[in-house]
C-alpha cells in the first residue's frame, strides 16, 4: 500500500468535524493521507518533530487545521520545506476571525497557503493538496479536469432546473 502523500494535522480532536471535509476531498481523489493531532501551543516539541520528519516518510504536502490563536500551520511551515496549507477553524468566540488572521499573516519568508474559514476552507485545502500533487501525476491531473467539468455541469443543471420551475 502507498504511504501517505498528505499529512493532515489538527490542533485538537474538536477540529475533526470540520477537517472531515478535507479528508473527504482527499478520499474522492484517492490520495493517501495520514491524520494527526498535534498542537502548536500544547505540544510544541511534538509539532516541530512531526514537521521535521514528514518529508522523509514520503509526505509531500501538509495541511493544518486549527482555531483560536492558530499557530499550527505557521509552526509546521517553520520546520519544513514542504508546502503548508492552513485551514482556520471557527472554534472560538471570534468565530474563526482570530484563526484566519493568525494563519494568513505569516512573516515574509515562511508562507502558509491560507484557505477560507471552516468547512469550505477544509474542502479546498484537500483540493489544493491534490492540485499540488497533480503537478507530477498525470492521473490526478485528469481527475481534476473531470472534477472541474462535473462542477460546471452541476451549475448548468441547477440553472436548467431553476428556469424549468419558473417557466422561463
Ligand atoms: C485550538 O484550540 C484547536 O485547534 C481548536 O480549534 C481550539 C480548541 O481546542 P480544544 O480546547 O477544543 O481542544 O488549538
Question: Which segments of 6-75 are extended strands (E)?
Answer: 6-10, 33-37, 61-67
Q: Binding residue per annotation — 139?
A: no
Give the domain extent around 11.
6-136
Counting ligand 1 atoms within 8 A of each CB, the residue from 67, 70, 90, 95 with the most, and so the one to mutate, is 67
Distance 144 CA to ligand 1 centre (A): 32
Are 144 and 86 in the same domain?
Answer: no
Are 115 and 142 in the same domain?
Answer: no
Number of domains forming the structure of the chain: 2
Are 85 and 20 in the same domain?
Answer: yes
| Ligand 1 site, residue 91, Cβ cutoff 6 A | yes
Ligand 1 atom, smallest distance to 91 CA: 6
Are 97 and 160 in the same domain?
Answer: no
Beta bridge partners of 114: 86
Tens of pLDDT, residues 54-99? 999 999 999 999 999 999 999 999 999 999 999 999 999 999 999 9
- Which pLDDT band, with edges at 50, 70 and 90, does 168 fall under? low
> Roughly what angle, to the nearest 10 degrees, separates helices 119-134 and 16-28?
30
Distance 151 CA to ligand 1 centre (A): 33
CATH of the domain at 16: 3.40.50.1970
Tens of pLDDT, residues 4-59? 999 999 999 999 999 999 999 999 999 999 999 999 999 999 999 999 999 999 99
Domain-located, residue 122: yes
Q: Is the pLDDT of residue 167 over 90?
A: no
Domain-located, residue 1: no
pLDDT at residue 2 in the model: 81
Distance 130 CA to ligand 1 centre (A): 26
Are 47 and 76 in the same domain?
Answer: yes
Are 19 and 85 in the same domain?
Answer: yes
C-alpha cell at 130: 491534490
Predicted structure pTM score: 0.96
Amino acid at each position: 500500500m502507498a504511504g501517505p502523500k498528505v499529512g493532515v494535522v489538527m490542533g485538537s480532536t474538536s477540529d475533526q468535524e470540520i477537517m472531515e471535509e478535507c479528508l473527504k476531498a482527499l478520499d474522492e481523489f484517492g490520495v493517501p493521507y495520514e491524520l494527526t493531532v498535534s498542537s502548536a501551543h500544547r505540544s510544541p516539541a511534538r509539532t516541530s518533530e512531526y514537521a521535521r520528519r514528514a518529508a522523509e516518510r514520503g509526505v509531500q504536502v501538509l495541511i493544518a487545521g486549527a482555531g483560536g490563536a492558530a499557530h499550527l500551520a505557521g509552526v509546521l511551515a517553520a520546520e519544513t520545506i514542504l508546502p503548508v496549507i492552513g485551514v482556520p477553524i471557527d472554534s472560538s468566540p471570534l468565530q474563526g476571525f482570530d484563526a484566519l488572521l493568525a494563519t494568513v499573516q505569516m512573516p515574509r519568508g515562511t508562507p502558509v497557503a491560507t484557505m477560507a474559514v471552516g468547512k469550505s476552507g477544509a474542502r479546498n485545502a484537500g483540493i489544493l493538496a491534490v492540485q499540488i500533487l497533480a503537478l507530477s501525476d498525470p492521473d490526478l491531473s485528469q481527475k481534476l479536469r473531470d472534477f472541474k467539468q462535473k462542477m460546471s455541469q452541476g451549475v448548468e443543471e441547477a440553472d436548467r432546473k431553476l428556469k424549468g420551475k419558473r417557466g422561463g
